[in-house]
Structure 1
């Protein structure tokens, strides 16, 4: 369990004081993947560095598994950091060391005997899918392989918490998906708590259980990922969700369809089991309404599927349309009117 209480981080300069993290309060449950998202300058990377005291807070508390990080002695803080490990955006590998030597490095610092350290490192090489690359140097690896080394190295001291600071932002989309799948696998096998810092909502959607959205150092929204996607409360969150779902028709609607009197263009939003229901067939056959599909998509979260459908309904009187909305909402489908002729 990670408890963050009234956490503040201020930087003083000659001209002004900057508050990078502004009275943040969060609870992150053990064994979960928790995402923190925000645009550049939101304070998310500073926040994650406060969790293992790579940055010391100006005020507030970070409590991990019952231990207040700010109350630990230097010796105990170093030991605690071994259990709160970090994966970096640009890998931070030692270029003069091989894959195996990079993974063994934190074990050497921790005083683990070389034979035991090597055995543990070889197990981690297998875990992250780098068999055959043990003796390769970082310059011989792809970006995804380098990040796999970084993840293996972060796991060397068998942490309970893994902090990932923009761990996929330097990777191409396919490699990003592979690294995200690896993190999910590791979380399940090692019962880890993972905190992911990102500016990409698709990362949050694909693997996170919960999310906090940051702006100007503050957490402006947080909650279950599926719920946040389904009903974002703040403009920043809505921008992230819209960019990921791409849930609108490109260009003016009039380019797609001729809107006449009593016509409607609506967006249907589905979550969970509703995404697999034959909604269009239900509308046309049961409700006897003709449907023109303009746009559709389904995305997947850790809590289930999330989808949308933008459709055109022709020549529908007000009573019939009200009954139509009521019927669909009873089936767990949200209805939003985009255009009414």
Structure 2
């Protein structure tokens, strides 16, 4: 369990004080994957560095597995950092060391016997899919391979918590998905708690259980990934969700030449099994409603599918629309009216 209680981080400069993290409370369950998302300058990277005391909070407490990080001695903090490991956007590899020697480096610092360190590193090389590349140098590796080395190195001391600071931001989309799949596999095999810092909602959607959205140092929205995607409340969250779902239904409105007073434009939101149901044919059959599809998308999350349909429903009186709305609600499909004159 990770607990952040009223965390504040201020930076003082000659010209001004910067409030990077503003009274943040978080509770992260052991064995979960927790995402923190925000645009540049939101405070998310500062926040993650407070987890292992790379940055010291101005006030507030960080507690990991019962240990208050700010109250540990220097010796105990060094030991704790071995169990709260970190991977970075730009890999931070030692360019003069091979893949295997990069992975053994933290084991050398921890005083692990050389033969044991080599054996553990060899096992990690295989785990992250780099078998046969043990003697390669970072300059000989692709971006995805470098990050695999970074992950293996972070796992060397068998941590319980893995912090990922924009770990996929420097990678192409296909490689990003490969790294996310690897993190999922490692999490299941090793029962890790993973905290992911990102500005990409795709990353959150693909592997996270819960998400916190940050803006100006504060957490402005928090909840399960499914709930946040279904019902984003803050404008920043809505923007992230819209961009990830390619939700540009406003553009489709312009294509409707004639919009009558009894016409509706609605958005249907789906989750789980109902994303695979033939909802359009059901609407036309059960309610005798004509349907014009303006926009649609379905995406996969760790816990299931989410999706939406934007429909133009012409010539419906209010009573018929209420029957339609009530029926879909019973099937756990929410209806949002986007336009009705």
TM-score by length of 1: 0.98
Deviations 1:34-55 (CA, angstroms, capped at 9, x unpaired)? 0000111110000000000011
Conservation of the 8 A alpha-carbon contact between 1:61 and 1:69: yes
> Equivalents in 2 of 1:65, 1:252: separation in Å?
50
Which residue of structure 2 aligns with residue 297 of structure 1? Answer: 297
> Equivalents in 1 of 2:252, 2:155: separation in Å?
50
Extract structure 1 runs of 4+ deviating beyond 4 A.
none
**Distance apart, 1:275 and its partner CA:** 1.1
Which residue of structure 2 aligns with residue 209 of structure 1? Answer: 209
Which residue of structure 2 aligns with residue 242 of structure 1? Answer: 242
> Equivalents in 1 of 2:207, 2:245: separation in Å?
15
Structure 1: gaps (5+ residues): none
Which residue of structure 1 aligns with residue 254 of structure 2? Answer: 254
Which residue of structure 1 aligns with residue 119 of structure 2? Answer: 119
User: Structure 2 matches for 1:1-341, cutoff 5 A?
Assistant: 1-249=1-249, 251-256=251-256, 258-341=258-341
**Distance apart, 1:330 and its partner CA:** 1.6
Deviations 1:67-92 (CA, angstroms, capped at 9, x unpaired)? 11111110010000000000000000
> Equivalents in 2 of 1:272, 1:248: separation in Å?
22
Q: Secondary structure at the match of 1:206?
A: helix
Per mean C-alpha deviation after superposition, the further-off stretch among 294-303 and 150-159 is: 294-303
Deviations 1:270-327 (CA, angstroms, capped at 9, x unpaired)? 1122212211111011111121111111111122111100111121112111111111
Deviations 1:233-268 (CA, angstroms, capped at 9, x unpaired)? 111111111111122326251325532331222110
Q: Secondary structure at the match of 2:254?
A: helix
Per mean C-alpha deviation after superposition, the further-off stretch among 242-251 and 148-157 is: 242-251
Q: Secondary structure at the match of 2:249?
A: coil
Structure 2: gaps (5+ residues): none
> Equivalents in 2 of 1:24, 1:294: separation in Å?
40
> Equivalents in 1 of 2:43, 2:81: separation in Å?
21
Change (3 A) 1:261 1:250: closer
TM-score by length of 2: 0.98
Conservation of the 8 A alpha-carbon contact between 2:37 and 2:44: yes
Q: Secondary structure at the match of 1:76?
A: helix
Conservation of the 8 A alpha-carbon contact between 1:99 and 1:136: yes
Conservation of the 8 A alpha-carbon contact between 1:248 and 1:310: no
Conservation of the 8 A alpha-carbon contact between 2:252 and 2:294: no
